[in-house]
């Protein structure tokens, strides 16, 4: 039986990956923070249904000593390094914590792996935010990085650390350059879940307003369940390589709101301009969306669109869920909640 260690197992991707690895008969180990056990109802909610089949280890990616122990005890065949401070907005507010967690965390994990279990295959969750102020569209594995946030800078650094361990120490280490992927398990602070959860609530109660920042940002949104499958496929290859994983379709935040409103039974139209613009539900004539200038970022990434041809060709990977299917899946789930 193969063994896998997942850092970030309590997050959106960690939970889908753990499910898929259990289905593939892996022994699945996960790193969880001590605070998780103080509030398991909330913090283990994404993996509660499979918790009895998992082997959870207490620790953080900031603790090198703890990671050494875990790699020595588990000696996993595969390690998926997903743990990170993953919210961009927060990375502007508290860049030091983001740098500590996201850069030191990769270095600690790879160094512990190299010392205690050098045959373990390693996956690093890189991000389309590494492209930032994009140099070309669509973005591929060859596109130059130009990060626009502290978070983006940490992911470029994590990518380079991963490449260096591959080249310098012959570790099977590779990075996925993953574009935005969402699901009913997405954190409420990210724009897609914020939209679907708020519109579902407004639709059910007739109360509340959804406050948003930049409606014109364009993202290539896919389904998290599809993307974790690509992680696994990357670690089954004979050679470690980096891959862009994306749907190849991009939509604005505004389009996401319009589609989610339709799925929630609203007939949305826009009124006003700039920060005074708002979205109104024609059926009730209630204001349901407004702009909050505080939600704009100091430096924005306006357009992300990925070309995943290499992953399609070499991994046999392709998305099963596209924009409309994703929005409807998320709204349906939030309406049920």
Judged by the rule CB under 6 A, the positions of this chain that interact with ligand GDR are 86, 88-89, 127-129, 179-180, 189-192, 194, 212-214, 217, 219, 253, 295, 297, 300
The candidate with the shortest Cα–Cα distance to 112, out of 67, 176, 157, 146, is: 67
147, 149, 150, 156: CA torsion to nearest 10: -20
Q: 288 touches which of ligand GDR, ligand NDP, none (CB within 5 to 8 A by kind)? A: none
The candidate with the shortest Cα–Cα distance to 148, out of 133, 127, 126, 128, is: 133
Q: 10 touches which of ligand NDP, ligand GDR, none (CB within 5 to 8 A by kind)? A: ligand NDP
For ligand NDP, the closer CB: 33 or 297: 33
Rg (CA), the chain: 20
- Rounded (10°) angle between helices 105-116 and 64-74: 40
For ligand GDR, the closer CB: 241 or 255: 255
What is the smallest separation between the CB atom of 81 and ligand NDP, expressed in angstroms?
Answer: 8
What is the smallest separation between the CB atom of 39 and ligand NDP, expressed in angstroms?
Answer: 10
The candidate with the shortest Cα–Cα distance to 17, out of 293, 325, 227, 273, is: 227
For ligand GDR, the closer CB: 213 or 265: 213
For ligand NDP, the closer CB: 21 or 31: 31
Cα–Cα distance for residue pair 289/266, rounded to 1 Å: 12
For ligand NDP, the closer CB: 85 or 149: 85
For ligand GDR, the closer CB: 63 or 252: 252
**Measured CA distances, 266 to 111, 198, 263, 288, 303 (Å):** 52, 13, 7, 10, 27
The candidate with the shortest Cα–Cα distance to 178, out of 141, 125, 133, 229, is: 125
50 forms beta bridges with none
Q: 11 touches which of ligand GDR, ligand NDP, none (CB within 5 to 8 A by kind)? A: ligand NDP
Q: 314 touches which of ligand GDR, ligand NDP, none (CB within 5 to 8 A by kind)? A: none
What is the smallest separation between the CB atom of 299 and ligand NDP, expressed in angstroms?
Answer: 18
What is the smallest separation between the CB atom of 87 and ligand GDR, expressed in angstroms?
Answer: 6
Q: 191 touches which of ligand NDP, ligand GDR, none (CB within 5 to 8 A by kind)? A: ligand GDR
Cα–Cα distance for residue pair 159/152, rounded to 1 Å: 11
What is the smallest separation between the CB atom of 336 and ligand NDP, expressed in angstroms?
Answer: 21
For ligand NDP, the closer CB: 9 or 266: 9
What is the smallest separation between the CB atom of 9 and ligand NDP, expressed in angstroms?
Answer: 6
Q: 219 touches which of ligand NDP, ligand GDR, none (CB within 5 to 8 A by kind)? A: ligand GDR
Is 104 exposed, middle or buried (CB count within 10 Å of its CB: 0-12, 13-18, 19+)? middle
Break the chain down into helix, strand, coil percent, rounded to 5: 45, 20, 35
For ligand NDP, the binding residues (CB under 6 A) are 7-8, 10-14, 31, 33, 36, 43, 60-62, 82-86, 101, 125, 127, 178, 180-181, 187
The candidate with the shortest Cα–Cα distance to 202, out of 280, 288, 271, 262, is: 288
Q: 163 touches which of ligand GDR, ligand NDP, none (CB within 5 to 8 A by kind)? A: none
Strand ranges (DSSP E) for the chain?
A: 3-7, 27-32, 54-58, 78-81, 121-127, 173-178, 181-182, 210-212, 218-219, 222-223, 243-245, 251-252, 268-271, 278-281, 286-291
What is the smallest separation between the CB atom of 266 and ligand NDP, expressed in angstroms?
Answer: 26
Q: 13 touches which of ligand GDR, ligand NDP, none (CB within 5 to 8 A by kind)? A: ligand NDP
Q: 300 touches which of ligand GDR, ligand NDP, none (CB within 5 to 8 A by kind)? A: ligand GDR
């Amino acid at each position: 039986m193969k063994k896998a260690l997942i850092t970030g197992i309590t997050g959106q991707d960690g939970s889908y990956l753990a499910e898929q690895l259990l289905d593939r008969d892996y022994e699945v180990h996960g790193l969880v923070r001590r605070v998780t056990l103080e509030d398991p109802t909330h913090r283990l909610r994404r993996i509660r249904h499979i918790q009895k089949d998992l082997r959870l280890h207490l620790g953080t990616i900031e603790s090198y000593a703890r990671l050494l122990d875990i790699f020595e005890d588990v000696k996993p065949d595969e390690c998926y390094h997903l743990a990170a401070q993953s919210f961009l907005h927060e990375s502007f507010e508290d860049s030091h914590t983001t740098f500590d967690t996201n850069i030191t965390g990769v270095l600690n994990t790879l160094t512990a792996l190299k010392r205690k279990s050098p045959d373990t295959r390693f996956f690093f969750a890189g991000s389309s935010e590494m492209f930032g102020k994009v140099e070309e569209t669509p973005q591929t594995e060859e596109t130059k990085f130009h990060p626009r946030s502290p978070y983006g800078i940490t992911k470029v650094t994590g990518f380079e650390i991963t490449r260096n361990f591959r080249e310098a120490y012959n570790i099977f280490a590779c990075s996925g350059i993953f574009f935005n992927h969402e699901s009913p398990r997405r954190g409420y602070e990210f724009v897609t879940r914020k939209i679907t959860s708020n519109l579902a609530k407004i639709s059910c109660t007739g109360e509340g307003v959804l406050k948003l920042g930049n409606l014109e940002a364009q993202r290539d949104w896919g389904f998290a369940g599809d993307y974790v499958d690509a992680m696994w496929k990357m670690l089954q290859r004979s050679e470690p390589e980096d891959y862009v994983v994306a749907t190849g379709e991009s939509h604005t935040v505004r389009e996401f709101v319009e589609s989610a409103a339709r799925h929630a039974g609203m007939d949305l139209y826009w009124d006003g301009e700039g920060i005074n613009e708002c979205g109104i539900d024609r059926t009730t004539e209630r204001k349901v969306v407004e702009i909050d200038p505080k939600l704009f970022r100091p430096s924005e990434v306006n357009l992300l669109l990925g070309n995943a041809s290499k992953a399609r060709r070499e991994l046999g990977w392709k998305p099963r869920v596209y924009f409309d299917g994703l929005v409807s899946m998320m709204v349906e789930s939030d309406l049920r909640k």
